[in-house]
Amino acid sequence: MGGFMKEFKEFISKGNVMTMAVGIIIGGAFTAIINSLVADVIGPLIGIITGGIDFSSLAITVGEAQLMVGNFIQAIINFLITAWVLFLIIKAFNQFQKKEEAAPEPEPEPETPADIALLTEIRDLLKK
């Protein structure tokens, strides 16, 4: 049992597990931001454009069963809006990354030829 606990402790303390945990937590927080953007900003704007169409109440009755196809259609619409918003955010982020990469780095100083370096050293010694 002691070997099992030691192995488990090593597994948990590895960097990949910790990195993954941080990624999941950040992903959850980012999901809340995207969901709020879609539900509170973009959804109402689309509602204005479409006249407030809401498919969630649309249902088909088959025998005694009621199929809530409207909820399914609404879920698809919400997914497409969320995917579109996420696409725009990632596209903007990638453009920002390209600008960062495209920034010119300062050119390194050209290497002094050996004979010039030797002459400079001789000059400095003669000055002393």
- pLDDT score of 82: 86
Mean pLDDT of the chain: 84
Query: 59 with 48, same domain?
Result: no
pLDDT at 113 over 80: yes
Residue 86 is assigned to a structural domain of this protein: yes
Q: What is the Cα–Cα distance from 109 to 106, expressed in whole angstroms?
A: 9
% of the chain beyond a pLDDT of 70: 98
Range of the domain at 98: 54-102
The verdict on pTM exceeding 0.75 is no
| Contact by Cβ (8 Å): 64, 13 | no
CA 61 to centroid of chain Cα atoms: 42
User: Nearest 10 degrees: CA dihedral of 89, 90, 93, 97?
Assistant: -170
Query: 58 with 93, same domain?
Result: yes
pLDDT digits (tens, 9 = 90+) for 51-93: 877 777 888 999 999 998 888 888 888 888 888 888 888 899 8
| Contact by Cβ (8 Å): 74, 55 | yes
Residue 116 is assigned to a structural domain of this protein: no
Query: 67 with 23, same domain?
Result: no
